[in-house]
Structure 1
Amino acid sequence: MTTALNSLRQRGFADFSATAPEALDHRRHWLMRAQNFSTEWIEFDEGSAAASFDSGFEALIVGVRGSVRISPANDRTLPAEVPADSIAITPAGAHSILGEPGSACVVIASQRTDLAGRRVLNAESYTEPDPRILPAGQPFRRTSALRGIQVLAFNDIMASPERPRLKMLQTDTLSINLVDYQGPRDRRMLSPHSHTSFEQGSLAVTGNFVHHLRAPWGNDANTWADDEHLPAPSPSLVVVPVEIIHTTEGVGEMRHVLFDIFSPPRADFIGNGWIFNARDYAPSHENTAS
């Protein structure tokens, strides 16, 4: 797919089941990034050692299969079990993750400090930053300190009545939308849209999807691109650049679980009262993401 006029990068995509993993201590890792965040899909086998991550701000751990145990590097915070279909919010700092055989989880973070030398699948796309993308910064702060690891089951995260399809959650530098539904998405009710100042990551966790992508036309017809209808099985991640029109369709009769990822957090969603845990945060400076 050719990039849109003035776009600095193409969309990023990886189907993890069709992409060789990074093998570390009997674990399998698929690590991708956007300009302001990274996602790391981790699978554990018999004999796997603990994985680790270190984030300058809060991070999100999504339980995918089985159960994983998160342990902070300091001994002042208790470990936490993160079963499938749950999300953990971890305080800033270093943590380890140990999974039972066959388990899997995803680490989502805006500013990891431990990725030097790691294999990032789409690293070459980020040799040059896109100046249109707002920096992650630290746009929000906790109204009271997160003193331990907070674990929320998917079913405990309530959707707003105004946006019943989306369960929304935030941290100090991230926000996510969770969709979880059975069967195909109604093709008469898709939601094509674009963003002017941030990228969107769409992480397919369960089910099969199609990402519909359209590059806007500018005056120069040589930059025009055909629409793309990108098959996306689970697990996979697409990173949608600024200005690209996009929507995602779950296909087939199975369960569909998908996370949309943003950094900085979606101030428009927060302002509308759509984010489940927004009361846990207050703005630390103006956030204008749209």
Structure 2
Amino acid sequence: MFDDSDPRKALLRTAPAEATATGPFCLPQVGRFHEDPPLATGTGWRAWMLGASRMVLRVVELDGTAEFARSGQLDEYMVFALEPSVRFTITTGAGAVEDHPGNHLFIVPPGDSRVTLQGRGTVTFVFTARSADLVAQCPPAARPAAPNPCIPPFQPWPDPPGGFRLRAYDLDVPVQEGRFGRIFRCTTLMVNILPRFTAPRDAAKVSPHFHASFEQVSLTLAGEFEHFLRWPWTPDQAHWLPDLRIACSSPSATVLPPPALHTTLWLSPESQIVDIFAPPRMDFSQRAGWVLNAEDYPMARTEIE
């Protein structure tokens, strides 16, 4: 049900959710970082956490200096900021950057790493749920209450040729007709940093759709948003869930669980949203030119949703 102007209309179709869903279904998690008390603070920074079935977000509001370290990290993670004024110093066992400007996305290799932030802006870290210590830091209301039976076990994608290393990608990417956002992937994650919207969304051109077997985390970094969700009706009425309308300011993050039909309205003249998936989406990866760092990371051989 994509609007004709939405590049995702060209994606391969799956069977209707009503034909494949059996229930029971899971509700979304919502992190309203703009109003919730931070989970951690320091001189010049505040941080919030949100857990999903396959990933963990740490969102940092920075006005000064902050440092975050990982020891024996199992897999790759991502960190990014859209503000060029944020400066990154990242050290790993497979590369380093010093005083690197923001408006970049970094893919940090497994093992030990240290990320030092300076400046003012919002910085987002994205990990997989394999980092059990980070999952445990998420508030109970901000992580799944139970496993989602629609989501298969996590399976990372193939290792990058030449091995893991610290990678930096410039987010100053011009909009291209027919390409959906600015998509980057690694072995564990996919991030789509959509262009900044300069006007509220036309309510006559929304694109309600569903994912059969993977969740989507929608991170809002600027503006006011409304997420709309609707679940299939199955033969067992005990599995039915009421429609949801989730209003949130920024920053915030909402987990959109399968197989809920969903769409989003941005209500402000200046709005920014980032969609995050774990592992990478096969349908996005199969579209030529959509994944901007596709040459660095091979696709999985079979479809993993």
Q: Do they superpose with TM above 0.5?
A: yes
Runs of 4+ in 1 over 6 A off after TM superposition: none
Does structure 2 conserve the Cα–Cα contact (< 8 Å) formed by 1:204 and 1:236? yes
Deviations 1:136-172 (A, max 9, x none): 322232134353331322x23x666433x42211111
Does structure 1 conserve the Cα–Cα contact (< 8 Å) formed by 2:87 and 2:119? no
Pairwise mapping of residues 22-61 of structure 1 onto structure 2 (< 5 A)? Answer: 22-26=39-43, 27-46=45-64, 48-53=65-70, 55-61=73-79
The 1:250/1:38 distance shift into structure 2, 3 A limit, reads same
1:43 CA drift (Å): 2.5
Q: Which amino acid aligns with 2:115?
A: I
1:234 CA drift (Å): 0.9
The 1:53/1:103 distance shift into structure 2, 3 A limit, reads farther
How far, CA to CA, are the matches of 1:58 and 1:8 in structure 2?
30
- Which of these residues, 206, 225, 235, is aligned with residue 222 of structure 2? 206
TM-score by length of 2: 0.81
SS across alignment from 1:102? strand
How far, CA to CA, are the matches of 1:288 and 1:23 in structure 2?
34
Q: Which amino acid aligns with 2:295?
A: R
Question: In structure 1, what is the equivalent of residue 87 of structure 2?
Answer: 68
SS across alignment from 2:295? helix
- Which of these residues, 37, 45, 55, is aligned with residue 20 of structure 1? 37
The 1:117/1:178 distance shift into structure 2, 3 A limit, reads closer
How far, CA to CA, are the matches of 1:144 and 1:114 in structure 2?
28
Deviations 1:192-223 (A, max 9, x none): 11111111100001111111111222224454
1:231 CA drift (Å): 1.1
The 1:49/1:286 distance shift into structure 2, 3 A limit, reads same
SS across alignment from 1:275? coil
Question: In structure 1, what is the equivalent of residue 254 of structure 2?
Answer: 238
- Which of these residues, 209, 212, 227, is aligned with residue 196 of structure 1? 212
Does structure 2 conserve the Cα–Cα contact (< 8 Å) formed by 1:214 and 1:226? yes
Does structure 2 conserve the Cα–Cα contact (< 8 Å) formed by 1:201 and 1:238? yes
Q: Which amino acid aligns with 1:242?
A: P
How far, CA to CA, are the matches of 1:7 and 1:83 in structure 2?
46
How far, CA to CA, are the matches of 1:117 and 1:91 in structure 2?
19
Pairwise mapping of residues 90-105 of structure 1 onto structure 2 (< 5 A)? Answer: 90-105=108-123
How far, CA to CA, are the matches of 1:114 and 1:11 in structure 2?
20
1:257 aligns with 2:272: yes
The 1:95/1:112 distance shift into structure 2, 3 A limit, reads farther
Q: What is the percent sequence identity of the aligned residues?
A: 25
1:104 CA drift (Å): 2.8
SS across alignment from 1:269? helix
SS across alignment from 1:177? strand
Residue-pair matches, total: 280
Q: Which amino acid aligns with 1:232?
A: C
The 1:94/1:183 distance shift into structure 2, 3 A limit, reads farther
Structure 1, unaligned stretches of length 5 or more? Answer: none
- Which of these residues, 165, 168, 171, is aligned with residue 186 of structure 2? 171
1:106 aligns with 2:124: yes
TM-score by length of 1: 0.84
Pairwise mapping of residues 115-130 of structure 1 onto structure 2 (< 5 A)? Answer: 115=133, 119-122=137-140, 125-126=143-144, 128-130=146-148
Deviations 1:115-138 (A, max 9, x none): 258530346753642343133322
Q: Which amino acid aligns with 1:207?
A: G
